[in-house]
């Protein structure tokens, strides 16, 4: 495999500086912005992240304030982004940074990777984009760009291929030191930007707009449809799920999920990992000591996680009055109180049905 050519890197830098998108976390000079945006962007589109980033920064502007944010408030800010363990790891990381590093990120890869939620890519982004330290930050966009540029036909999911690409970038930094830290910041982002807006994952790349087309093997061979090669993920598990939306005129019964596992610590409607019929749903409510005035089967819904798919059926159950003692880990919440409770977007169909909150995008 050849090495990266200095002339191509210079063309890439020039292209980036003329074509980079205006993003709220870009070029702010704040490493917190680099870290927060990179965590938010995992498994999430840039356009979707923009509003969340602005709202999160407004409420939690820095590492210290993040370390002091309680879980409910944090999950409420994160609601809709999914992969909620990212939010919990953000807070855990912030606490550790404050307690052990004076509220700043260490400048060493090994030290960074000891922090919760930080792997090789995020560590590379903090070092290169945050501090301007020459270090590879290789995400899916960079993998695709480099695989096509060098004509790498091996499985892009393999660790060997990832390691090769990291080595190629780090070797370039070693053999061709950039003149200043700003160039390092730009180059790290330029690799990603090229994959995001030119060498795109779906459909044909815009080769005519690419600064690397002259030396790109895929452009020469027309092999973009087969490179990069990506092996299949395992099939999603289908889970049949029943929701019981128990309510009186104004209040809803919500259950807090376990502190570990999927959607840990978030609130949901009472649910079962099986499909219940109407009689079974009423029977369960009666076991709780509740008098059901009316039960209605409402619309089904589906939510897709990475390796899991929920197929949901739901019953609205109108209750005459609540027992003095609620079921374990349950609370009653009216619409106003629900503004401060984190309910997963998996239940968006039912949240929207009852207009439990109005979203204010900034």
Please list, in sequence order, all residues whose beta carbon lies within 8 angstroms of the beta carbon of residue 192, skipping any fewer than 6 positions away. Answer: 137, 139, 141, 142
Work out whether strand 237-247 and strand 308-319 pair parallel, antiparallel, or are unpaired.
parallel
Q: Which fold has domain 6-221?
A: Endonuclease III; domain 1 (1.10.340)
3-class DSSP state of 309? strand
pLDDT at 261: 82
Rounded to whole angstroms, the Cα distance separating 237 from 260 reads: 19
Catalytic residues: 38
Look at residues 153, 149, 152, 156 and name the one whose alpha carbon lies nearest to residue 172: 149
Q: Which fold has domain 237-353?
A: Nucleoside Triphosphate Pyrophosphohydrolase (3.90.79)
Determine the straight-line distance between the first and last CA of the chain, rounded to whole angstroms.
46
Q: Looking up tokens 């590379």, which residue turns up? A: 124
In eight-state DSSP terms, residue 288 is T
Look at residues 114, 117, 110, 40 and name the one whose alpha carbon lies nearest to residue 79: 40
pLDDT at 102: 95
In eight-state DSSP terms, residue 115 is S
Ordered DSSP codes for 130-196 = IS--------HHHHHHHHHHHT--SBTTSHHHHHHHHHHHHHHHHHS--SSHHHHHHHHHHHHHHHH
pLDDT at 355: 63
Look at residues 279, 272, 282 and name the one whose alpha carbon lies nearest to residue 240: 272
pLDDT at 359: 41
Cβ count within 10 A of residue 288: 17
Ordered DSSP codes for 202-262 = SS---GGG-TTTTT-HHHHHT-TTTSSB-PPPPPPEEEEEEEEEEE-SS-EEEEEPPSSST
Domains 6-221 and 237-353 share a fold: no
pLDDT at 345: 81
pLDDT at 361: 35
pLDDT at 344: 84
pLDDT at 325: 85
- Domain coordinates in residue numbering, the chain: 6-221, 237-353
Q: What would the two tokens of residue 337 be? A: 């109180």
pLDDT at 353: 80
pLDDT at 75: 85
Rounded to whole angstroms, the Cα distance separating 127 from 26 reads: 15
pLDDT at 11: 95
Which pLDDT tens digits describe the chain residue by residue (362 residues)? 578 889 999 999 999 999 999 999 999 999 999 999 999 998 888 999 999 999 999 999 999 999 999 888 898 888 888 778 888 899 999 999 999 999 999 999 999 999 999 999 999 999 999 999 999 999 999 999 999 999 999 998 899 999 999 999 999 999 998 889 999 999 999 999 999 999 998 888 999 999 999 999 999 988 888 899 888 767 788 999 999 999 998 899 999 988 888 888 889 999 999 999 999 999 999 988 899 999 999 999 999 887 889 999 999 999 998 888 888 889 998 877 776 787 888 888 888 787 654 443 33
pLDDT at 362: 33
pLDDT at 187: 96
């Amino acid at each position: 495999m050849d090495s990266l050519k200095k002339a191509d890197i210079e063309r890439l830098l020039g292209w980036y500086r003329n074509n980079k998108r205006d993003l709220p976390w870009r070029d702010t000079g704040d490493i917190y912005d680099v870290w927060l945006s990179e965590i938010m962007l995992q498994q999430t589109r840039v356009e979707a992240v923009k509003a969340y980033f602005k709202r999160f920064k407004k409420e939690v502007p820095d590492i210290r304030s993040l370390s002091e944010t309680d879980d409910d408030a944090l999950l409420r800010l994160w609601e809709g982004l999914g992969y909620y363990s990212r939010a919990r790891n953000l807070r855990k990381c912030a606490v550790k940074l404050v307690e052990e590093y004076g509220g700043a990120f260490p400048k060493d890869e090994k030290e960074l990777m000891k922090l919760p939620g930080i792997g090789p890519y995020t560590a590379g982004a903090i070092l290169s984009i945050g501090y301007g330290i020459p270090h590879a930050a290789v995400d899916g966009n960079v993998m695709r760009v480099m695989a096509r540029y060098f004509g790498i036909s091996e499985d892009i999911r393999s660790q060997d291929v990832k390691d090769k690409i990291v080595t190629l970038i780090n070797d370039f930094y070693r053999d061709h030191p950039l003149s200043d830290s700003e160039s390092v910041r730009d180059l790290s982002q330029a690799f990603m930007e090229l994959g995001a807006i030119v060498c795109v994952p779906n459909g044909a790349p815009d080769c005519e707009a690419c600064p690397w087309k002259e030396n790109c093997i895929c452009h020469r061979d027309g092999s973009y449809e087969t490179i990069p090669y990506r092996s299949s993920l395992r099939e999603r598990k289908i889970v049949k799920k029943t929701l019981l939306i128990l309510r009186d005129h104004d209040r809803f019964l919500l259950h807090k999920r376990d502190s570990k596992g999927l959607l840990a610590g978030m609130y949901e409607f009472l649910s079962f990992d099986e499909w219940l019929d109407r009689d079974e749903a009423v029977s369960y409510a009666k076991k709780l000591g509740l008098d059901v005035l009316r039960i209605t089967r409402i619309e089904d819904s589906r939510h897709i996680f990475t390796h899991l798919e929920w197929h949901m059926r739901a019953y609205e159950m109108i209750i005459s009055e609540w027992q003095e003692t609620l079921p374990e880990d349950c609370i009653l919440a009216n619409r106003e109180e629900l503004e401060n409770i984190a309910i997963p977007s998996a239940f968006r169909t039912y949240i929207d049905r009852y207009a439990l909150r109005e979203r204010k995008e900034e």
